[in-house]
Chains A and B, each alone.
Chain A
Amino acid sequence: MTDVVVTGVGAVSPLGVGAAKLHERWVAGVCGIVDGEGRCSEFEPTEHFSVKEARRADRFTQLVLVATREALADAGWEDELPYPAEEVGTIIGTGIGGIGTIESNDRMLIEHGPKRVSPLAVPLMMGNAGAAAVSMHHGLKGPSYGVVSACAAGTHAIGSAMRAIQAGDATAIVAGGTEAALTELSRAAFVAVEALSEIGISRPFDGRRDGFVMGEGAAALVLENGETARARGARILAILRGYGATSDAFHITAPPANGEGAARAIIRALADAGVSPDELVYVNAHGTSTPINDAAETSALKTALGDAAKRIPISSTKSAIGHLLGAAGAVEAVATILALRARVIPPTLGLEQQDPELDLDYVPLVARALDVNGDRLLAISNSFGFGGHNAVLCLEAT
């Protein structure tokens, strides 16, 4: 079976527009969270879209379109696809979809009646709108669909794309995740379910952590069949070595305390990759900063990695940008690839008083040089979603 390689990446995040800003600012210890939310404040739709394009896309779609444009340019595809369009697919995850569109149309419905609900409501709010827009904007005619698995959607999208390429359904796929849910309804809803930090600080693995901080953003990765990518002389950023996906079948919003479903996903991803825990140089944690996630994830890492868990540096991107829900896994995969390539372990920001119950190396506050001594640049990236969805990627940077 062919391997699947990453040849381009793009991201829009609370740390700025562009994958490089995500990487460089996180490594420098910059936090993109302002007033308790991770907003993409440097993203200005009019800089990227015509009037028509902008009003035909909910913010969640706009974000992934910009990330995709960057990823395709990064792969050298901005002028021409290297494969027949029918061989290039699009898989984009989201947790919620166009909730801003739903809310504005709901207000029209209540205030002015059903005749004032926009003809654009359905095409903007549907969860697959991101995938549809990417495929239309770039003429990608292979398989395209959305993936919906709450906070694991970005990772599931990448894993699904990897499998589709391995199965021969496509030669290349633009995979990613996107979310723009900083809206009144979703904010109130996440408060109601008691998931959000009341103090508005994201500090995973800290003893004072009290919930996650909402963020928005998107990332896209150009994934290609490794054989065809090498045959065309593509620059390869990373190789997707393994993917594991499991379900807790436990509770709609909570993992089991021992994180057994998450542990099985990690074990499956490593087995799929043919990688032993000893070979990992980094873990990009789900690390939400909720009391239960960070404890369950720590248990899962110990179960899945054994003694190696104590040695491997672990950090959480959410400490720098908040929780991007369905975009998180894709943004974190991009951040992981760029960190490995730069031979650096980005820090867990806000981690000043490590929870005494959590005893792994979470790389507090300051980035660390990654001294590989010729070892392979292997990492895992974890994502776990409401509903008990667990997805883990094993990546190797080049």
Chain B
Amino acid sequence: MAEAPTSEQIEKVITESLVTFGADPDAISRDAALEELDVDSLDLAELSQVIEEQFGVELSASDVAEIKTVGDAIDLVAERAK
């Protein structure tokens, strides 16, 4: 596989996905809680697909259940993509 993605690359993909799902772009930050962005389990299932497709990282349902903030998602993908 190619080089591990940078945190910035991961953040860009996740942010773009959340905007596609309908989250307010101005409200998205590392500290933003997914619940406050109105991101639900179906959005997270879609996000998992995008992450696998972009970075080759497969997230399990229990992985996803641990994600509470945008930063959690970025860090988890960065860790797994190493």
Contact = CB atoms under 8 A, between A and B. Distances in A.
B42 to A, nearest CB: 5
B53 A119 contact: no
A51 B22 contact: yes
B49 A55 contact: no
B45 interface: yes
Nearest to A52: B22
Given A115-B52, A116-B49, A52 B42 contact: no
Contacts of A115: 49, 52-53
B46 interface: yes
A115 B46 CA distance: 11
Given A115-B49, A115-B52, A120 B22 contact: no
A353 interface: no
Contacts of A123: 42
Interface in B11-46: 20-22, 38, 42, 45-46
Nearest to B58: A115
Interface string B39-82: 00010011001001100000000000000000000000000000
B45 A55 contact: no
A50 B42 contact: no
Nearest to A49: B22
A2 interface: no
B49 A120 contact: no
Nearest to A50: B22
A52 B43 CA distance: 10
B42 A120 contact: yes
A50 B22 CA distance: 7
A55 B52 contact: no
Contacts of B42: 56, 119-120, 123
Nearest to A54: B22
Contacts of A118: 46, 49
B82 to A, nearest CB: 22
A46 to B, nearest CB: 12
26 contacts: A50-B22, A51-B20, A51-B21, A51-B22, A52-B21, A52-B22, A52-B38, A53-B22, A55-B20, A55-B21, A55-B22, A56-B42, A115-B49, A115-B52, A115-B53, A116-B49, A116-B53, A118-B46, A118-B49, A119-B42, A119-B45, A119-B46, A119-B49, A120-B42, A120-B46, A123-B42
The 10 closest A-B pairs by CB, nearest first: A52-B22, A119-B45, A51-B22, A119-B42, A119-B46, A50-B22, A120-B42, A52-B21, A52-B38, A55-B22
